[in-house]
Amino acid sequence: MPASSGSELEFKFQAVEEEELEPEYDVVIVGGGPAAFSAAVYSARFLMKSVMIGEEPGGQLTLAGTVDDYIGIPEVIASDLIERFQGHAAKYGVRLVMDRVESVEELEDSRKRVTTLGGRETVAKAVIVAIGSKRRKLGVPGEDKYNARGVSYCSVCDAPLFRGAEAVAVVGGGDSAVEGAALLADYAKNVYLIHRRDAFRAQPINVEALRRKGNVKFLLNSVVREIFGDTKVRGLIVEDLRSGRRSELRVDGVFIEIGFEPDVEFARRNGLGTSEGGYIVVDDWMRTTRPGVFAAGDCTSAWVGFRQVVTAVAQGAVAAYSAARYVRDKWG
């Protein structure tokens, strides 16, 4: 590996698509996002032979533009932060094999047989599941085109980037949308909260607090039909569901806060207990309902109301610690 220059990591990370897995590992980490990279670094530091198996380096972080809330690295481009995570894992020799884990089968001696969609197979003493969850999309024209160019899926992450903006919109009716609109009202001059119903799922006290904000306008019984712009978002086409009338709404950004979608099928297929919302149930030490299987990041039931890179990384570190202790207590 090349040496680092100053505080910058220059290690080049290779995501391996064709290379086979080794027959056995101490820890297999399922996923490729911040929680998975953190688990990889800590597993290696605990002297566990480890490998990552995931579909895409970065996970949900690939949807972000500029990250300004990761401690010590202000205003970093998301792709650069992912590269730093990759470089750190590479320093410890942990590979990311590009594939999708399908099953984690229990063996008689408590080891786990891990099988992938691509036909790969290995055995692990412990498994850390860090498959994240996906933010729901609107599925309208312009959404993908302007992603990270005015379209955001995290108000808490990106609100400061819109300081002084003339107007922004928030789409959704739950707590994340209402709380996001309240936060954005402190940065932008005008905030539009667009919700397809006339009542909110959010806590009433939060809705009432938002109504007292002088610069927030509620567009109820309304949906976004299109996001348009030039080099960045310039506005929305909004439809009033009662009248069917469509109108143009000029905004500098749109925050889509319509919830997450956990991979419920993966959890059920592999015997992992889930919460009512479909997230993998974990305790304070990131232990799941299956001995020897741990979970971290946005796929877990921990801290559901506050999803951040820093919380995912923290959970990944804890999961690695717990997995290392499990392996050493059981196998010495």
Catalytic residues: 154, 157-158
Tokens 């559901």: give the residue: 304
Separation CA 310–CA 317 (nearest Å): 11
Separation CA 53–CA 96 (nearest Å): 6
- Of 192, 151, 141, 185, the residue nearest 170 (C-alpha): 192
Separation CA 37–CA 30 (nearest Å): 10
Contact call for residues 249 and 169 (beta carbons, < 8 A): yes
Q: How many residues does the chain have?
A: 332
Q: Please name the residues in contact with 223: beta carbons below 8 A apart, sequence gap of 6 or more.
A: 194, 196, 238, 239, 241
Contact call for residues 208 and 181 (beta carbons, < 8 A): no
Separation CA 104–CA 288 (nearest Å): 13
Rg of the chain on CA atoms, in Å: 21
Contact call for residues 226 and 236 (beta carbons, < 8 A): yes
Q: How far apart are the first and last CA of the chain?
A: 31
- Of 180, 235, 254, 246, the residue nearest 213 (C-alpha): 180
Contact call for residues 323 and 294 (beta carbons, < 8 A): yes
Residues facing residue 121 across a β-bridge = 115
Separation CA 234–CA 284 (nearest Å): 44
Tokens 């080099």: give the residue: 231
